[in-house]
Amino acid sequence: MRLLITAGPTREPIDPVRFLSNRSSGRMGYALATAAHAAGHEVLLISGPVTLSPPSGVQLIRVETAREMFDAVRTHLPGCSAAIFSAAVADYRPAQAATQKIKKSATTLTLELERTEDILGSVRSTFGFTGFLVGFAAETENLIPHAQAKLQRKGCDLIVANDVSQSGIGFDRTENEVTLCLPGGHTIPLPRQSKTSIADELIQFISSRV
């Protein structure tokens, strides 16, 4: 199948040298792209800024901001049988980025923020995607309830939920521990293991459902 995957963080500029971002390394998304290619699928990887080497045999599109990722997904989603949204997209960006470096002068600095594009939430309603849709939920509390609510709200077939408050797993780590949340309140826990192993299991699971 043709599979679209998003990975990594986004960067939302404050001025020419500063930005808002998060701790995502992109390892999970890159592992998914590698596993999907190894399973024989055609893979399109839309990646925010990371330090990882591009996966072999995968079409890579690099973006910086949430808006750029939104546009790339809208362009490349048609024709895909499944889509996995593992990128940690910034929820907010500065309403107005400064054109010159902001100098350190005042004791405090107030930034006005605005919501970024809801990429996952647009896949069904705006882009008209009818394939198998997978989202990720990184939470620090009420993991399963929040993930199940997201699954329904975004129209997903699967949400991969992980508790990023736990030490040693999640953002910027090589290991993770996740729970697959499915419609009807069904859950499948995947124990702590390497992100590579989790990616292999996820690709096998998704392939069996498409």
Instruction: Please list, residue by residue across 34-53, b when 16 or more beta carbons sit within 10 angstroms of its beta carbon and e when fewer do.
Output: bbbbeeebbbbbbbbbbeee
Q: Please say if 162 is a catalytic residue.
A: no
Q: Residues 22, 142, 162, 176: which is the catalytic one?
A: 22
Which amino acid would we find at residue 25?
A: S
Strand 2-7 with 92-94, pairing: unpaired
Report the alpha-carbon distance of residue 169 to residue 26 in Å, rounded: 13
Question: By C-alpha distance, which of 159, 189, 194 is closest to 173?
Answer: 194
Query: Active-site positions?
Result: 22
